[in-house]
A and B are shown apart, each in its own frame.
Chain A
Amino acid sequence: MTALSVADISRNFEGVQALDNVSFEVAPGERRLIIGPNGAGKTTLFNILAGSYAASSGRVALFGCDITHLPAHERARLGLSRTFQITNLFYRLTVLENVLLALQAGKRTTLPVLRPMRADRELLAQADALLEHWGLTELAKLAAQDISYGQQRQLDILLAMAVGSKVLLLDEPTAGLSAAEVPRVMAILRGLPRDTTVLMIEHDMDVAFELADRITVLHQGRLLAEGNVEAIRSNPQVTDIYLGFD
């Protein structure tokens, strides 16, 4: 069964065709890179997949389940999680609290008012473990707005992972990182569990070619090409639209 199936997705913004009949399928565990020049519609696609807004037409299915009309939070409950192009954290809360919120989302308590947060030792332990795994333990008590940009980016990905996602949408995870921070994030990306399906938008070609199993190329809202790294690299149409890049 495919992890994510996108069928004839189109999106129209007051006369501008942002996406035009885009279709593709992603296999479970696959690392699918979405690339394309600016304005190709990549983030629009992600927003539609995540449920931030609706497509003008088409269908999206998650593990065979039609999610086209589901609101964002329900998709998250079904295992679809995402990061944002502009880092989207709970800035005035501490790093630990950020993680706790993500973990708490995964629990389904019927009446979340009964016990105080402090009493949930299990949740706290989980949060500690997660922070340690990602090497962010020293930052736990700092406010999210006080850590470095690279660390914020990492936290962003961590939050998306903490919910226990099956399909992860990463929107330009390396964007804005300094040269020193890129290897750390790359390592995390490489180390993502193999049973998680990952869709990633990337501008950096090196990163894209290194991480991808398959690549989908968008151009001006349409699907231009799709294939493995070799096929895309040698595709003349692709190199054409990237003249000036790379």
Chain B
Amino acid sequence: MSATGASSSAKSRGIAAIFLLTVILFAVLPYLLSTYYLGLVIEILIFALFAMSLDLLIGYTGMASLGHAAYFGVAAYAVGLLSLKLHWSVWSALPAALIIVTLVAALFGLLALRTRGSYFLMITLALSQVAWGIAFGWHSLTGGDDGLPDVPRPALASDWSLAGDRSFYFFVLLLAGTGMLLLAHVAMSPFGFALRGIRESETRMQALGYNVWRYKFAAFILAAAFAGLAGALYAYYNRFVSPDYLQVFRSAEVLLMVILGGAGTLIGPAIGAAVIVLLENVISAYTERWLIVIGTIYILVALFAPGGIIGFIRELRGRRVKS
């Protein structure tokens, strides 16, 4: 056991070093990049959080959901409405939004968790479409298709607004980063471990004494809460909320980020998010046919790399080890 002990502490020192370097890199970025590129990084951070939250559901618990954008959007609308109509500061709007998202997720979860597999897939899609329908149709509340314009950037105090690019960047970095770290912590805890067991064999977990439903429900809500955090940040970033936050395409996009990066690895989906955000920005400059591109990526990933980028890397490493 001592052999593994030594190498594992070397490994954790290595990880800590990489982590520190990453933090420093991200901290320095706003002084190196223009507003445009900084905006891209902000988007990457937000979507990485979003994708990682879905990974908790798909990669860890094995519940493939097609409706994750619902929570992204609900929190965004909550933050938008509370800031615009009630003039709540970020200190109260953000936590309130998270609470609202958690409640919605609890309701949706109670319904969706009565099913599994393909039924679950359909239900999650249907539920998110209902949310979309409400956002789209309830004009008086949500502004319908026009959305909510002019959401103010968060202000930490009456004289400390985060409207500036750099200060907002650090705001996002702090919150998204904390979110991602929390997710990682959950994933590596006994709870996260149990989720992986559930993914492998629910019946076996039941037979061992785990209350599987409760674990799935908790995972569902946690995933939704973190997705909500991402959505709220996106609302503050865009200063605009629309039904697009909730549409099927958004759920499909984040699903692709997870699979493209590698489900079940947490870091994979973050990478997947970066790839998709960058790709979308590049490709949208040349053509409006982003849908076709993303559809093709879907099929290519399914055909050639179902394990995603991380899976691909692991396979390469495995082959090198064998040879």
Contacts and interface: CB of A to CB of B under 8 A. Distances in A.
Given A113-B186, A116-B185, A90 B201 contact: yes
B186 A89 contact: no
Contacts of B191: 112-113
Contact of A72 (B193, B201, B206): B206
Interface string B253-286: 0000000000000000000000000000000000
B209 A128 contact: no
A128 B207 contact: no
Contacts of B204: 84, 88-90, 159
B207 A91 contact: no
Interface size class of B (residues with CB under 8 A): 20 to 34
User: Of B200, B203, B211, which is in contact with the most chain A CB atoms at under 10 Å from its CB?
Assistant: B200
A101 B190 CA distance: 9
B212 interface: yes
B207 A72 contact: yes
Given A88-B201, A163-B209, A104 B189 contact: no
Interface residues of A, number: 38
Interface string A7-40: 0000000000000000000000000000000000
Contacts of A102: 208
B190 A117 contact: yes
B70 interface: no
Interface string B180-199: 00000110111111101100
A199 B203 CA distance: 20
A147 interface: no
A204 to B, nearest CB: 23
A71 B197 CA distance: 19
Contacts of A50: 207
A114 interface: yes
B188 A117 contact: yes
B209 A77 contact: yes
Contacts of A89: 200-201, 204
A106 B194 CA distance: 12
The 4 closest A-B pairs by CB, nearest first: A76-B209, A90-B200, A112-B190, A105-B208
Given A71-B206, A105-B208, 15 more contacts: A73-B207, A73-B209, A73-B211, A81-B209, A88-B203, A90-B196, A97-B193, A97-B196, A101-B197, A106-B209, A112-B194, A115-B190, A117-B190, A117-B193, A159-B208
14 contacts: A73-B208, A76-B207, A76-B208, A88-B204, A88-B207, A91-B201, A105-B209, A105-B210, A106-B209, A114-B189, A115-B190, A128-B1, A159-B208, A163-B208
